Amino acid sequence: MKLTLEFGGGLELLFGSVKIHEVAVPPPEGETKVTVKHLLLWIRDNLLKERPEMFLKDKSVRPGVLVLINDCDWELCGTTEAVLEEKDTVVFISTLHGG
């Protein structure tokens, strides 16, 4: 499944300082759907360059990271259970505090 992943708010530093990644994520074996939960594991195993604890915690994203599916808060789409569709854009953004 073709997806666009974006990392911001400093998270891009964990992905070779590249913000936008066009990826093809295969569904888990024996399944047809790609959930966000599966996407997180796929990112950890295929995309993440360093320090996974800066991105993930307890099978979800770490506190302080907002997940947006097609510019919509993942809380409104079922968080880790949200089912992704072809050409979806998933944004991971770390909350900023500077002023």
DSSP-derived 3-state class of residue 56: strand
CB-hemisphere CA count at 13 Å for 83? 5
The nearest distance, CB 88 to other proteins, in angstroms, is: 14
What gap in Å lies between CA 94 and CA 30, rounded to an integer?
Answer: 33
Among positions 9, 27, 28, 52, the unique one binding other proteins when judged by CB under 8 A: 9
**Candidate residues 24, 29, 32, 99; the one interacting with other proteins per rule CB under 8 A:** 99
Token pair recorded at residue 16 = 């070779």
Site for other proteins in 34-93 (CB under 8 A): 50, 53-54, 57, 62-66, 68, 71-73, 75-76, 91, 93
